[in-house]
């Protein structure tokens, strides 16, 4: 590359080359094209390097760490060291961006934000379970903001430090990153635009072993074929919320009423989930690693 890009896009990845190709394609299809794409392998041993090379685009660069870290924090930090852009955007290797994602977030930066997050549609297996992130337009320190929906000025990570290791935290590293940035006085903009689609590996048992990319293939085709996909999906999410298929923020007193109605098996499941954050630093991510077909990271 002969000029400095405005945006550095970082995709951390580990041995999921079939879905990785779709994530890269969704970046290359952006309406905003002033970017470089850094694909950061966490010591990948599959054909991810060949997949990246197959795009034959000088903006797309491949790096592979010498040792596996077990989480995206380390490849993200290496991506920050390699980045040339003034703005940093992240994309999960199994997630997709709608074509207006980078344009929408860079416009928020131009309007004065230091960190911006679009709305990410979160899709469960078979699209039976739907969610959005963030769930509310008002930020709080433990708000879930998927990296796939985030952009920040490089100055932010230079000033507060990069991504922390999940084994040193009781919250997700991306939650910690944003909380530290906001506490340091950086301006966060939560945007009322649906810009990304997330397929959580933690909701898909043994997904790393299965190697299926049919969901991403289907959605990438939809994004290319439906110019009004954002409006369609917002309408679908509203309808799903009306049907009770999406989690909703409810007054605390209602939780006890619901608890009294639920079955003993649901209550047992609830307490299993409660035990995860009580089990110590990194416990939530280690539990998710085992479920999606990866071992516990030491």
pLDDT digits (tens, 9 = 90+) for 27-39: 999 999 999 999 9
Helices (H), 172-213: 173-183, 207-210
> What's the chain's average pLDDT?
87
pLDDT value, residue 274: 56
The region, left, alpha or beta by phi > 0 then psi within -120 to 50, assigned to residue 244 is: left
Assigned architecture for domain 7-242: Alpha-Beta Complex (3.90)
Q: Domain extents for the chain?
A: 7-242, 252-291
Confidence band (pLDDT; 50, 70, 90) for 266? very low
pTM for the full model? Answer: 0.82
pLDDT value, residue 129: 84
Q: How far apart are CA 116 and CA 33, in angstroms?
A: 18
N- to C-terminal Cα separation, the chain? 38
Q: Does the structure show a pLDDT above 80 at 264?
A: no
pLDDT digits (tens, 9 = 90+) for 188-229: 999 999 999 999 999 998 999 888 999 999 999 999 999 999
Measured between alpha carbons, how far is residue 182 from residues 4, 90, 133 in Å? 27, 18, 18
Q: Does the structure show a pLDDT above 70 at 276?
A: no
pLDDT digits (tens, 9 = 90+) for 36-52: 999 999 999 999 999 99
Largest CA distance in the chain: 64
């Amino acid at each position: 590359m002969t000029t400095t890009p405005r945006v550095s896009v970082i995709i951390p990845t580990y041995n999921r080359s079939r879905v990785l190709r779709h994530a890269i394609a969704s970046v290359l299809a952006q309406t905003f094209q002033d970017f470089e794409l850094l694909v950061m392998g966490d010591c990948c041993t599959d054909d991810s390097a060949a997949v990246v090379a197959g795009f034959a685009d000088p903006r797309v660069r491949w790096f592979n760490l010498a040792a596996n870290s077990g989480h995206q924090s380390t490849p993200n930090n290496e991506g920050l060291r390699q980045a040339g852009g003034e703005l940093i955007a992240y994309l999960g290797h199994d997630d997709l961006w709608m074509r207006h994602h980078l344009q929408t977030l860079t416009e928020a930066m131009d309007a004065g934000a230091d960190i911006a997050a679009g709305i990410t549609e979160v899709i469960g297996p078979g699209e039976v379970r739907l969610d959005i992130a963030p769930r509310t337009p008002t930020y709080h320190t433990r708000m879930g903001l998927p990296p796939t929906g985030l952009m920040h000025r490089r100055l932010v990570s230079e000033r507060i430090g990069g991504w922390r290791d999940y084994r040193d935290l009781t919250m997700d590293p991306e939650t910690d990153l944003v909380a530290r940035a906001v506490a340091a006085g950086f301006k966060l903009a939560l945007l009322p635009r649906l810009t990304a689609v997330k397929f959580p590996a933690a909701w898909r048992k043994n997904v790393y072993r299965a190697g299926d990319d049919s969901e991403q293939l289907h959605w990438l085709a939809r994004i290319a074929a439906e110019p009004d996909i954002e409006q369609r999906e917002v309408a679908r999410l509203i309808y799903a919320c009306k049907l009770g298929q999406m989690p909703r923020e409810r007054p605390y007193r209602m939780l006890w009423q619901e608890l009294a109605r639920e079955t003993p098996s649901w209550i047992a499941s609830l307490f299993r989930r409660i035990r995860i954050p009580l089990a110590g630093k990194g416990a939530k991510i280690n539990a998710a690693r085992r479920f999606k077909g990866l071992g516990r990271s030491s």
